[in-house]
């Protein structure tokens, strides 16, 4: 429910996997402008894995968030720049991610996800707008049968005035588009209104429900889950303007600290800047009434911060007023695991930390493929699979609010120096790279040998690197290799295959996983090919042929459209130094390039890669093994989950442990 960032990410998985699902939103139209505006590196990695050109669209429009400037007013009333702090980290030597933190409006992000949903579902999966849930009934007696539908919802279609209530003149929260002329054309002419006849009531039965319906979540209230934490103690205004000013750092992230408090500057796409303006102070005796605040009041307060510099605007896309509240729902999932909450329905905090939308989308991304897999009926224990969402994402919600409280306190105010100190302390968590997912059926720490790849921590995000195609000499970020299609990846870090003994180990490893073995029922199956058949939707062959006919680069466009046969994919990245001319693709086991496809593809040239430096790309530097903590001679094996988290690590001889890992997950 609700087509916000968390809901759209979960919906994308439903569309991509062909899961029969519906997404409803009481708003008559999507978010167009304003709201959240920051993207962290880990979220951008998801978008690259999802394909559909999302990351390219974001790169074209977004604004890199770097070089925080600190300003203060001196005793003479002048604004002085106190210093500059680098925010992104060392991207030449450390390379924490292929992507940077950027800023772009939530409306554009939602636009790109919606376009991708339409693409992966061939237009068959759409948001039902102007529809609201009014009752929820849960029948616990049906929850243990995976074929039953224990959830019953009553849905009602709203009238246009209910779905698109007009804002009062000068009212709090200018959620209407104030300056359409500054928006991209594809945002101005969007669908609005309701999806059906106003007043239509429908009874819907469901196996699973995901509530992404915001801070005032209807579903959370139906479940009677309380909010824990501190309510708002201060009021801030947020305005998105195209600034007209002589302030030199208006297009740099900046703090301005004066006797009025601390103003925050967030540069944005399309020459915009967001200003976070404090409207009261911690010493105020009376709490400010947010509903009484106008856009002009926010702007006049902002002008005082910038003096003696001037500030004006003619274009304001959006403005709002909010109180700093730091709250976490007492649960994010029903005990049955059939009903889950995500996004702001679980965690609420100051928007100034730039993590709310990211954490929400990561909630939806984490949960979406699990629900799709449970709905497909292929997992051994659906409830155990779905409850991993609680163990993985609920502690993130708690840490997120604790981070906000540490950074901004209960009043949303922090000294810039303290901000930088805490930013550095929480940076890995904030960027999405230190989440500490616990042991579960998906995170097999006990079953693993972490020493085989010390830089690829079990339960954490895979550390993406740039590698070279062994056969085709193309460059790939591993985000592209781990496409979001619901499959698990066995990544064979094959070591130095120029050594005969090491190539022999590679052959033995692939033979162990590829050969057919009898199960307890006497059926012979191969882990890589037949034991766990691919259960999600495949690209339509006619559409593929049409894509080939119209594409300017058919070989590239068709590269990753090979139909999936198994829920487990195998690819290799070896570490041979120097020329690999003497090592043919056919020297590797056939499991890494076959079987031969006589209709369209021939052999698969895209699953063997090498960690080797090339002179024409500084990111493909041949240091991936070092960053992964893997011995360049003997290699290692890593299992990557569909959400690109590390599920298992071990040596090439640990094939029984790999088979046990998957037998715990799949039927």
Domains of the chain: 5-231+325-430 (3.50.50.60), 450-665 (3.40.30.20)
d(C-alpha 645, C-alpha 240), whole Å: 35
Q: What is the pLDDT of residue 542?
A: 41
Task: Give Cβ neighbours of residue 396 (< 8 Å, ≥ 6 apart).
Answer: 359, 362, 363, 435
| 50 vs 490: CA distance, rounded Å | 19
Mean pLDDT of 296-325: 91
User: What's the average model confidence in pLDDT over 549-554?
Assistant: 41
Please give the C-alpha separations between residue 12 and each of 113, 117, 135, 442, 561, in angstroms, as whole numbers.
Answer: 7, 5, 25, 21, 18
Peptide bond into 526 cis (omega under 30): no
Portion of the chain with pLDDT greater than 90, in percent:
64
* pLDDT band for position 170 (cuts 50, 70, 90): very low
The structure tokens listed for 91 are 């991207």
Question: In the structure encoding, which two tokens stand for residue 203, read together?
Answer: 């009874």
Q: Is residue 546 predicted with pLDDT exceeding 60?
A: no
Q: Please give the pLDDT value at position 185.
A: 77
Residues near 388 by beta carbon (within 8 Å), at least 6 away in sequence:
370, 440, 441, 442, 443
- Cα–Cα–Cα angle for 233, 234, 238, rounded to 5 degrees: 145
Decide if pLDDT at 172 tops 50.
no
pLDDT of residue 349: 82
Residues designated catalytic: 37, 268, 276, 351
Question: For residue 174, is pLDDT > 90?
Answer: no
What pLDDT is stored for residue 544 in this prediction? 42
Range 272-281 average pLDDT:
87
How wide is the angle at C-alpha 637 spanned by C-alphas 636 and 639, nearest 5°? 150
pLDDT band at 167 (very low <50, low <70, confident <90, very high): low
468 vs 580: CA distance, rounded Å: 11
- Higher-pLDDT residue of 407, 379: 379
Nearest 10 degrees: Cα torsion 221, 223, 229, 235: -20
Give pLDDT, residue 196. 72
Res 562 pLDDT > 90: no
How far, in Å, CA of 77 to CA of 633, rounded? 64
Given a contact cutoff of 8 angstroms between Cβ atoms, the answer to whether 143 and 151 are in contact is no
pLDDT band at 165 (very low <50, low <70, confident <90, very high): confident
Beta-bridge mates of residue 96: none
Q: How confident is the model at residue 611 (pLDDT cuts 50, 70, 90)?
A: very high
Q: Are 140 and 39 in contact (CB under 8 A)?
A: no
Q: Is the pLDDT of residue 97 over 80?
A: yes
pLDDT, mean of residues 539-567: 53
Q: Which residue has the higher pLDDT, 513 or 286?
A: 513
Residue 33: predicted pLDDT: 82
Mean pLDDT (the chain, rounded): 87
| pLDDT level of residue 246 (50, 70, 90 thresholds) | very high
Can you tell me the distance from the alpha carbon of 117 to that of 123, in angstroms, rounded to the nearest whole number? 8
What is the reported pLDDT for 326?
86
**Residue 133: is its pLDDT beyond 80?**
yes
Confidence of residue 122 (pLDDT cuts 50, 70, 90): confident
Q: Average pLDDT of 363-370?
A: 97
The answer, yes or no, to whether residue 171 has pLDDT greater than 50, is no
Report pLDDT for 425: 76
Mean pLDDT is lowest, of 186-190, 250-254, 622-626, for: 186-190
At residue 413, the pLDDT reads 54
pLDDT given for residue 37 in this prediction: 87
- pLDDT at residue 79, as a whole number: 95
pLDDT digits (tens, 9 = 90+) for 329-356: 999 999 999 999 999 999 988 776 678 8
180 compared with 7, residue with greater pLDDT:
7
In the beta sheet, which residues pair with residue 277? 237
Dist CA 363 CA 396 (whole Å): 9
- pLDDT reported for residue 556: 36
- pLDDT at 550 exceeding the cut of 60: no
Measured distance between the N- and C-terminal CA atoms of the chain, rounded to whole angstroms: 30
pLDDT per residue over 184-237, tens digit each?
877 765 555 566 788 899 999 999 999 999 989 999 999 999 999 877 667 889
Task: Look at residue 382 in the predicted model and tell me its pLDDT.
Answer: 96
């Amino acid at each position: 429910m609700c087509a916000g960032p968390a809901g759209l990410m979960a919906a994308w998985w439903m569309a991509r996997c062909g899961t029969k699902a519906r997404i409803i939103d009481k708003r008559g139209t999507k978010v167009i402008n304003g709201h959240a505006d920051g993207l962290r590196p880990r979220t951008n990695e998801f978008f690259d894995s999802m394909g559909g050109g999302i990351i390219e669209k974001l790169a074209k429009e977004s604004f890199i968030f770097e070089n925080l400037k600190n300003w203060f007013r001196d005793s003479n009333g002048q604004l002085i720049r106190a210093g500059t702090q680098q925010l992104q980290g060392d991207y030449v030597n450390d390379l924490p991610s292929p992507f940077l933190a950027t800023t772009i409006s939530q409306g554009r992000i939602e636009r790109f996800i919606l376009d991708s949903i339409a693409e992966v579902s061939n237009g068959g999966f759409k948001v039902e707008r102007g529809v609201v849930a009014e009752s929820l009934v849960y029948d616990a007696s049906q929850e243990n049968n995976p074929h039953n539908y224990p959830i019953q919802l009553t849905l009602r279609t709203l009238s246009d005035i209910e779905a698109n209530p007009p804002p009062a003149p000068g009212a709090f929260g200018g959620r209407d588009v104030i300056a359409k002329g500054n928006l991209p054309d594809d945002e101005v002419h969007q669908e609005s209104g309701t999806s059906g006849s106003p007043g239509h009531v429908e009874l819907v039965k469901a196996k699973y429900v995901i509530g992404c319906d915001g801070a005032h979540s209807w579903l959370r209230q139906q479940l009677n889950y309380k909010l824990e934490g501190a309510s708002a103690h201060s009021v801030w205004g947020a305005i998105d303007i195209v600034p007209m000013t002589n302030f030199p750092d208006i297009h740099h992230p900046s703090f301005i600290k004066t006797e009025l408090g601390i103003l925050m500057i967030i540069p944005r796409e399309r020459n915009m800047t967001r200003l976070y303006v404090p409207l009261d102070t911690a010493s105020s005796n009376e709490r400010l009434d947010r509903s009484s605040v106008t856009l002009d009041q926010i702007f006049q307060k902002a002008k005082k911060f910038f003096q003696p510099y001037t500030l004006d605007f003619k274009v304001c896309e959006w403005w709002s007023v909010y109180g700093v509240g730091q709250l976490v729902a007492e649960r994010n999932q029903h005990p049955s695991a059939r009903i889950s909450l995500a996004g702001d329905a679980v965690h609420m905090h100051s928007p100034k930390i730039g993590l709310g939308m990211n954490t929400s989308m990561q909630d939806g991304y984490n949960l979406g493929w699990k629900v799709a897999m449970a709905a497909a009926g292929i997992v051994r224990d659906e409830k155990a699979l779905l409850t991993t969402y609680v163990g993985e994402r609920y502690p993130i919600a708690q840490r997120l609010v604790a981070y906000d409280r540490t950074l901004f306190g209960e009043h949303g105010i922090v000294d810039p120096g303290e901000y930088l100190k805490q930013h550095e302390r929480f940076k890995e968590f904030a960027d999405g790279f230190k989440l500490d997912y616990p042991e579960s059926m998906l995170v097999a720490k006990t079953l693993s040998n972490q020493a085989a790849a010390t830089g690829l921590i079990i339960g954490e995000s895979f550390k993406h690197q740039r590698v070279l195609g062994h056969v085709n000499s193309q460059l790939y970020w591993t985000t592209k290799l781990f496409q979001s299609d619901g499959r698990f990846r066995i990544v064979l870090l094959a070591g130095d295959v120029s050594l005969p003994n090491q190539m022999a180990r590679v052959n033995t490893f692939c033979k162990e996983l590829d050969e057919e073995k009898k199960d307890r029922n006497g059926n012979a199956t191969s882990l890589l090919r037949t034991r766990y058949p691919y259960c999600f939707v495949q690209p339509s062959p006619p559409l593929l042929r049409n894509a080939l006919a119209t594409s300017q680069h058919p070989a590239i466009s068709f590269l990753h459209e090979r139909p999936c046969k198994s829920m487990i994919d195998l690819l290799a990245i070896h570490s041979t130094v120097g020329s690999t001319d003497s090592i043919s693709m056919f020297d590797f086991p056939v499991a890494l390039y076959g079987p031969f496809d006589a209709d369209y593809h021939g052999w698969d040239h895209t699953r063997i890669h090498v960690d080797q430096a090339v002179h024409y790309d500084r990111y493909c530097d041949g240091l991936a093994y070092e960053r992964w903590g893997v011995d360049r001679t003997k290699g290692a094996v890593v299992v990557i989950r569909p959400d690109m988290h590390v599920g298992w690590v071990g040596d090439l001889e640990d094939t029984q442990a790999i088979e046990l890992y998957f037998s715990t997950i799949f039927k």
